Amino acid sequence: MQIDQKSPTTASVFSDLRTRAVDVFMAGVREADPADGVEQALSGKSFNRPTIISVGKAGVSMAEAAMRKVQAETVVVVTNYENARPLEGAEVRAASHPIPDDEGARAALRVEEALCMAKGDVIALISGGGSALLPAPVNGVSLEDKAKVNALLIASGADIVMMNLIRQQLSRLKGGGFLRAAAPSHVTTLVLSDVVDDDLRAIASGPSVSPIGSRADAVAALKSLKVWNRLPSSVREHLMKPESDLGPLPESETILVGSNRRSVSAMARASGGGKAKGVHVFPAPLTGDVDEAAHVILDCVKEKGIYLFGGETTVKLAGKGLGGRNQELALRVARLAGERGLEDYVFLSGGTDGRDGPTDAAGGLVDSTTLSRLKDAGVDIDDVLARNDSYHGLEAVGDLLKIGATGTNVADLQVLILP
């Protein structure tokens, strides 16, 4: 783990607080380690000639845990490049996230093949990121077209549920596609949730559960996001076709093995307990636009202590800079705290997967000296935010949070400390 700190002032005055914020955050990340959850879920269960399919950022670690409990005939793992590693007895494939690539398309074909050829039960291990990692475009839609849709959705500020509603309608494997491909095999799915309300249909676009909505719903969502006319023509044509009547999905079993809520609870325990004096757990998921989220966070401040949040915010991209929602949220909190005259604070916002947007940082770690250090470095915070260039703004003052790929993903966590 690397905590990017360059400022002597920050190191001398805020070092202990920054370290504590990271420790609390990492307690939440450790709680999301899927190994224990997978092993507990599989304990006492028996399977007939099982095939294991593990997809997502936690794909390798979930498969590894499952293989300790189940002797499978076939194990196929699809994960992102950062988390890929060899796993004895398994076929591990790496693909791109968040924008799908050719390796992901080839991996999707291999998963379809393994599901269709399963001779017994299927164990599906699903974690966040699986949607982009397993692109299986419907007939008539190319991978390039699907990648364009994904990029438009990311830039639009759409939340994860809306994004996956649309993705499901463009995929052979999402929205219950696993169940149809595997039929008549029985599918047991273990899910590590990266969705704040644990909606199973939205996690990795719900490969083994019913879809979120219909093609008409996807069209309405795309029009509300004002991107319908920017879609590839093949996508518009497919979504305007009549709904397909594929009949009911085969029956299956789904078990939740980790979530954002559990990680927030773990942060509370690491802070001294959820009911300890001075520890405040925000009762609802932190969602919505990052600027609105910054106001929600600072509006909570009534006294000194530790304030804990979990959820997944959104960013509507207007500039062409580099960053992610956690980095931008950290900078927006710093700016708003400065406007409100908040003194002596540390704020951390990070992704539990260790990667925020298309960067090598998990998020940002700011404090009440961040604004002055930005000014000394010649960085205009308003300009940085207007260009969505939070990465380079935070990098200039050593306020990036870098922890490396974690092998898990339960959305984002935030820690605000006022000593």
pLDDT digits (tens, 9 = 90+) for 398-408: 999 999 999 88
pLDDT band for 301, please (50, 70, 90 cuts). Answer: very high
**What is the mean pLDDT of the segment spanning 24-38?**
93
Q: Are 12 and 78 contained in the same domain?
A: no
Q: Are 73 and 11 contained in the same domain?
A: no
Q: Are 251 and 275 contained in the same domain?
A: no
Q: Are 14 and 84 contained in the same domain?
A: no
Nearest to 99 by CA among 126, 77, 125, 129: 129
Percent of the chain with pLDDT over 70: 96
- Integer CA distances (angstroms), 374 to 18, 304, 383, 418, in order: 18, 25, 12, 21
Residues whose CB is less than 8 angstroms from the CB of residue 121 and which lie 6 or more positions away in sequence, other chains included: 47, 48, 49, 50, 51, 185, 186, 187, 188
Query: Hey, how many other C-beta atoms are within 10 angstroms of the C-beta on 339?
Result: 10
pLDDT band for 417, please (50, 70, 90 cuts). Answer: very high
Q: Are 20 and 59 contained in the same domain?
A: no
What backbone torsions phi and psi does residue 23 show, to the nearest 5 degrees? -60, -45
pLDDT band for 275, please (50, 70, 90 cuts). Answer: low
**What is the mean pLDDT of the segment spanning 368-391?**
97
**Could you report the per-residue pLDDT of 92-120, keeping only the tens digit for each?**
999 998 888 999 999 999 999 999 999 99
The pLDDT value recorded for residue 12 is 52
Q: Are 267 and 244 contained in the same domain?
A: no
- Integer CA distances (angstroms), 310 to 31, 173, 213, 413, 415, in order: 13, 29, 26, 4, 9
pLDDT band for 376, please (50, 70, 90 cuts). Answer: very high
Residue 9 in this model has a pLDDT that exceeds 80: no
Q: Are 306 and 200 contained in the same domain?
A: no
Q: Are 203 and 324 contained in the same domain?
A: no
Residue 233 in this model has a pLDDT that exceeds 80: yes
Final residue in a domain of this structure, among 203, 225, 258: 258
H helices present in 227-380, as ranges: 233-239, 260-270, 290-299, 325-340, 370-376
* Residue 157 falls in which region: left (phi positive, over 0), alpha (psi -120 to 50) or beta: left
- Per-position b or e across 71-103, b if 16+ CB within 10 A of its CB: ebebbbbbbbebbbeebeebebbbbbbbebbeb
Helix (H, G, I), strand (E, B), or coil: what is residue 279? Answer: strand
Query: Hey, how many other C-beta atoms are within 10 angstroms of the C-beta on 284?
Result: 11
Residues whose CB is less than 8 angstroms from the CB of residue 198 and which lie 6 or more positions away in sequence, other chains included: 256, 259, 261
pLDDT band for 2, please (50, 70, 90 cuts). Answer: very low
- DSSP readout, 39-52? HHHHTT---SS-EE
CATH code (residue 64): 3.40.50.10180
Q: Are 134 and 169 contained in the same domain?
A: yes
Helix (H, G, I), strand (E, B), or coil: what is residue 319? Answer: coil
Q: Are 316 and 205 contained in the same domain?
A: no
| Cβ–Cβ < 8 Å for 214, 144 | no
| Cβ–Cβ < 8 Å for 408, 357 | no
Final residue in a domain of this structure, among 258, 276, 311: 258
Query: What single-letter DSSP state applies at residue 247?
Result: -
Residue 13 in this model has a pLDDT that exceeds 70: no
**Could you report the per-residue pLDDT of 154-178, keeping only the tens digit for each?**
889 888 889 989 999 999 999 999 9
Number of domains making up the chain: 2
Q: Are 9 and 83 contained in the same domain?
A: no
Percent of the chain with pLDDT over 90: 81
pLDDT band for 6, please (50, 70, 90 cuts). Answer: very low
The pLDDT value recorded for residue 288 is 93
- CB burial class (10 A; 0-12, 13-18, 19+) of residue 140? exposed
> What does pLDDT average to over the chain?
93
- Integer CA distances (angstroms), 163 to 209, 315, 356, in order: 16, 13, 17
Q: Are 317 and 377 contained in the same domain?
A: yes
Rg from Cα positions in the chain: 22
Q: How far apart are CA 72 and CA 122, in angstroms?
A: 9
The pLDDT value recorded for residue 322 is 97
Name the residue with higher pLDDT: 204 or 103: 103
CATH code (residue 364): 3.40.1480.10
**What is the mean pLDDT of the segment spanning 136-155?**
92
**What is the mean pLDDT of the segment spanning 289-306?**
96
Q: How far apart are CA 392 and CA 383, in angstroms?
A: 11
| Cβ–Cβ < 8 Å for 182, 122 | yes
**What is the mean pLDDT of the segment spanning 322-351?**
97
Residues of the domain holding 254: 34-258
Range among 6-10, 11-15, 82-86, 404-408 rated most confident: 82-86
pLDDT band for 245, please (50, 70, 90 cuts). Answer: confident
